[in-house]
Amino acid sequence: MHPNILTPEQTQLLPLIQKFSPDFYLVGGTALALQYGHRRSIDFDLFSPSSFDNEKIRRRILSQHQINTTHIASAGELTLIVDGIKTTFFQYEYPISHPVLFEKIISLPDDLTIGAMKAFAMGQRNKWKDYADLYFIFQHHSLQEIIDKAEELFGTGLFNSRLFREQLAYHVDISYDEEIEWMPGFEVPKDTILEKLIDISLS
């Protein structure tokens, strides 16, 4: 694990994250960066297979922390800025195993599962961070492994492997709104990442 990818502000929030660990698990770029150590994290994405009460979560947070802003408060999703850190609680209907434990604080999926989740999410969004993360995941797993895992988790009816290959090679509408802060030794030029993903999509 690479806890150094967390900002000092995130580290201060870890006791709060631990309080939610019985019902939530950590996903996304932060969960991957903790395993790879390749880039800085800026937020926490917490998923749960079950429904939850937004007000109960808010009260639990406010007992010891400050909620700066509420971005989303709807059934199955609560996105807040807590002590300056974007924190999302999300009900995720798909069966995701999360056997990796981060310092007895919270569990997270393994890197292959995170890769499959990112592959599935690319059907709804085109974030630069997802492409960059997949570049590093492909250093550990093949394209076919990720496709197989995504089909296992989401079904061939919802996950389209042909579309995923196309998205890996089509970069016109990528959103670069969130810049990546690489950790030392992991810096990769954008063109290198995009060219590699094109090669992988054709494999």
Give per-residue pLDDT as tens, 11-30.
Answer: 999 999 999 999 999 999 99
Contact 71, 45 (CB under 8 A): no
Contact 94, 116 (CB under 8 A): no
Please name the amino acid found at residue 102. F
If one counts every other C-beta atom within 10 angstroms of the C-beta of residue 40, the result is 17
What's the pLDDT score for residue 125? 82
Length of the chain measured in residues:
203
pLDDT at 118 over 90: yes
pTM of structure: 0.95
Q: What is the SS3 assignment for 74?
A: strand
Report the candidate in 125, 165, 164, 160 with the shortest Cα–Cα distance to residue 28. 125
Residue 91, strand partner residues = 48
Q: What is the mean pLDDT of residues 195-202?
A: 97
Percentage of the chain beyond pLDDT 90 is 95
What's the pLDDT score for residue 185? 97
**d(C-alpha 73, C-alpha 78), whole Å:** 5
Domain layout of the chain by residue ranges? 3-108, 111-201
Contact 132, 39 (CB under 8 A): yes
Q: Where are the alpha helices (DSSP H) in 20-127?
A: 28-36, 54-62, 111-121
Handedness of CA 85, 91, 94, 97 (dihedral sign): positive
**d(C-alpha 166, C-alpha 140), whole Å:** 21
CATH number of 3-108: 3.10.450.620
Report the candidate in 187, 178, 196, 197 with the shortest Cα–Cα distance to residue 39. 187
Q: What is the mean pLDDT of residues 174-188?
A: 95
Report the candidate in 200, 4, 196, 201 with the shortest Cα–Cα distance to residue 102. 4
